[in-house]
Amino acid sequence: MIELLSDTARKTMLEPLFETGWAMVDGRDAICKTFVFGNFIEAFSWMTRAAFWAEKWDHHPEWSNVYKTVEVTLATHDVDGLSSLDAKLARKLDTL
């Protein structure tokens, strides 16, 4: 069962993500990051690769795409906040 991140887990799992550009969402227990690519095809290709991982892990991001920019927000709706799945998906998105 997925659980809300504890204070200790937040420090361990989220701090490295903050160093790569992820940030807390104001007024919500979620993290966000803006990814900028060279053009629309690069952005859309990245979203497609990300979608395969999201589906595999049954954990889907909130995102929007305008031309070469993709804005991503991660939170686990089942726990109404951040879980280990969010940190896992964020790390994967950073490596794609």
Q: In which domain, by residue range, is 71 found?
A: 7-95
Q: Convert the pLDDT of each residue in 38-51 to its tens digit.
A: 999 999 999 999 99
Question: Is the predicted pLDDT of residue 1 greater than 90, yes or no?
Answer: no
The DSSP code sequence of 25-70 is: PTTSS-EEEEEE-SSHHHHHHHHHHHHHHHHHTT---EEEEETTEE
d(CA 30, CA 9): 14
In the chain, how many domains are there?
1
Q: Which residues contact 94 (CB under 8 A, 6 or more apart)?
A: 17, 20
Q: Are 70 and 34 in contact (CB under 8 A)?
A: yes
Q: Considering the entire predicted model, what is its pTM?
A: 0.95
Average model confidence (pLDDT) across the chain: 97
- Mean predicted confidence (pLDDT) in 14-23: 98
Residue 1 is assigned to a structural domain of this protein? no
Residue 81 is assigned to a structural domain of this protein? yes
